[in-house]
């Protein structure tokens, strides 16, 4: 329990100390923000800082820092270190710069931002990559809750149309259409802060339940500094890919422009972007602690946790809430497993609309032009929702962290151009390059090679990417000379 408290203190301290270093490096000023300058009443709308924070938290969180952290707990309390230091030095930095670079460039989507600093080839790659990823995320976060709602209603004896997952899928997609189409402050700005607060309360309830129950003990890192995964999956780099939300996640960079278009001042970025990432890290740390403390450890392996996770994410979250908060946790569990994925899904489709709008230069101030993008996007989502996407979804974790890597290299190039300390982004970019390439080389769904090949490959490519970046920084200097 002591190591958990230390990590929690480091996360909170990281917001005030390293978060301030990151903010000072970027140097926000008093220039007019896109929300004030453009203010189209749809996507560019000024919202108060507290709403920006809660909406950003819910946009980037969903079930990610809950289920991902519990899966990470299979490796044991060593996962606390990745959540803590990943959040402070990688995730918070990634989220801050993805949001602030969008704000500095008129609220541009992340694909356009990458193109500005890494060139047109990367811009086009990121355009396609982002839209496909966002539609996939949005669709999965519609199908999952639809099935869960049917299961819950079935347990209550409900029959007929409302016991059909197809009906609920279309209901959720209809909501997605409305939330994607109308002004961001009409639904997202009003309802999401409530769900954001529920997400925080649920995490507080879980850790309070663990602390007050003498049968639960959070293991110490120093006494369990070993790989406890029942299947023997290596910590490097599987744990770093599995625990994305709660440490660093490329998906966040697709969501940050939503709030970058709603800030009244650049100086809100520290609280909104870096702060929301730290809050997500705290939530992930709590759920990882729950996974380590509540379930059985046999022969030094997290076997009990593995068994509950095998029943699915909704069952695992429900089980933790019941065991830590009793019947009072049921309502919060339902918010977690139904509302959270839906709220991530609709902002995924909204972000996809903005990416396409930036790509094809379609003004979104007019209703007809928003319809031009919303209708086909949701139609594709409905089509994908009826496909067997399980194989494709296995690639999500890798593509997610690869996106984070690209965004960090983008921020590094921006800082170089501004003659600022680019190492605060280049170091985590190099690290994530090693993580991404190592996983792609050895994961079964990718190349499936041995770790003897994957580990050196990850290091070599990370060094190569860093070398390419350093070479790019040298060329302009020679030309100026």
In this structure, what CATH number is given to the domain that contains residue 201?
A: 1.20.1740.10
383 pLDDT band, cuts 50/70/90, is: confident
pTM of the model: 0.93
pLDDT in tens, 182-232: 999 888 898 889 888 888 998 999 999 999 999 999 999 999 999 999 999
Look at the chain and report how many structural domains it folds into: 1
- Residue 59, pLDDT > 50, answer yes
3-class SS shares of the chain: helix, strand, coil, % to 5: 75, 0, 25
pLDDT value at residue 480: 42
Residue 481 banded pLDDT, cuts 50, 70, 90: very low
pLDDT digits (tens, 9 = 90+) for 300-322: 888 899 998 887 776 788 889 88
C-beta of residue 359 within 8 angstroms of C-beta of residue 127: yes
User: For residues 73 and 289, what is the distance between their CA atoms, to the nearest angstrom?
Assistant: 7
> Which of the pair, 134 or 330, is modelled with greater confidence?
134
Cα separation, 27 vs 6, whole angstroms: 30
Predicted confidence band at 478 (pLDDT cuts at 50, 70, 90)? very low
Mean pLDDT confidence for 354-382: 89
Higher pLDDT, 24 or 318: 24
- Band the pLDDT of 329: cuts 50, 70, 90: confident
Q: What is the pLDDT of residues 155-186, one digit of tens each?
A: 678 888 888 888 988 999 899 888 888 999 88
CB distance 70 to 305 below 8 Å: yes
Are 68 and 243 in contact, with CB atoms under 8 Å apart?
A: yes
> Of the ranges 133-142, 158-167, 271-280, 392-401, which one carries the lowest mean pLDDT score?
392-401
Of 465, 255, 265, nearest in space to 346 by CA: 255
Domain that holds residue 114: 2-480
Q: Tell me the average pLDDT across 374-403.
A: 77
3 state DSSP class of 372 = helix
């Amino acid at each position: 329990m002591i190591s958990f408290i230390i990590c929690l203190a480091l996360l909170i301290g990281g917001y005030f100390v390293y978060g301030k270093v990151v903010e000072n490096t970027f140097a926000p000023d008093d220039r007019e923000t896109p929300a004030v300058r453009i203010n189209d009443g749809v996507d560019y709308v000024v919202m108060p800082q507290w709403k920006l924070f809660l909406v950003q938290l819910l946009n980037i969180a969903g079930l990610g820092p809950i289920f991902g952290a519990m899966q990470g707990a299979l490796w044991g309390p060593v996962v606390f270190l990745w959540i803590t230091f990943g959040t402070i030095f990688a995730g918070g930095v990634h989220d801050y710069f993805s949001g602030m670079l969008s704000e500095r460039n008129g609220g541009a989507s992340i694909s356009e931002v990458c193109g500005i600093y890494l060139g047109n080839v990367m811009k086009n790659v990121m355009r396609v990559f982002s839209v496909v990823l966002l539609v996939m995320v949005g669709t999965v976060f519609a199908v999952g809750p639809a099935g869960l709602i049917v299961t819950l209603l079935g347990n209550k004896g409900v029959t007929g149309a409302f016991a059909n997952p197809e009906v609920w899928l279309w209901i959720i997609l209809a909501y997605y259409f409305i939330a994607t189409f109308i002004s961001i402050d009409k639904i997202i700005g009003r309802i999401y802060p409530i769900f954001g607060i529920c997400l925080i309360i649920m995490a507080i309830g879980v850790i309070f339940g663990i602390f007050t129950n003498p049968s639960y003990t959070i293991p110490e890192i120093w006494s369990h500094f070993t790989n406890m995964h029942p299947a023997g999956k290596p910590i490097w780099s599987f744990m770093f890919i599995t625990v994305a939300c709660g440490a660093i996640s490329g998906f966040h960079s697709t969501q940050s422009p939503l709030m970058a278009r709603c800030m009244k001042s650049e100086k809100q970025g520290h609280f909104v972007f870096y702060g929301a990432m730290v809050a997500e890290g705290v939530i992930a740390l709590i759920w990882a602690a729950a996974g380590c403390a509540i379930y059985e450890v046999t022969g030094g392996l997290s076997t009990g946790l593995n068994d509950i996770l095998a029943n699915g994410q909704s069952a695992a979250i429900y089980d933790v809430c019941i065991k830590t908060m009793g019947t009072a946790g049921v309502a919060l569990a339902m918010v977690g497993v139904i509302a959270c994925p839906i709220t991530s899904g609709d902002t995924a489709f909204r972000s996809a609309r903005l990416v396409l709008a930036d790509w094809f230069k379609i003004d979104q101030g007019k209703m007809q032009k928003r319809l031009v993008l919303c209708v086909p996007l949701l139609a594709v989502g409905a089509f994908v929702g009826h496909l067997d996407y399980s194989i494709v979804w296995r690639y999500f974790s890798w593509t997610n962290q690869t996106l984070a890597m690209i965004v960090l290299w983008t921020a590094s190039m921006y800082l170089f151009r501004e003659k600022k300390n680019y190492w605060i982004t280049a170091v985590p970019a190099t690290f994530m390059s090693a993580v991404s390439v190592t996983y792609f080389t050895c994961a079964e769904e990718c190349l499936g090679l041995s770790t003897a090949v994957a580990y050196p490959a990850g290091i070599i490519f990370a060094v190569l990417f860093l070398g390419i970046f350093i070479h790019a920084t040298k060329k302009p200097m020679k030309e100026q000379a």
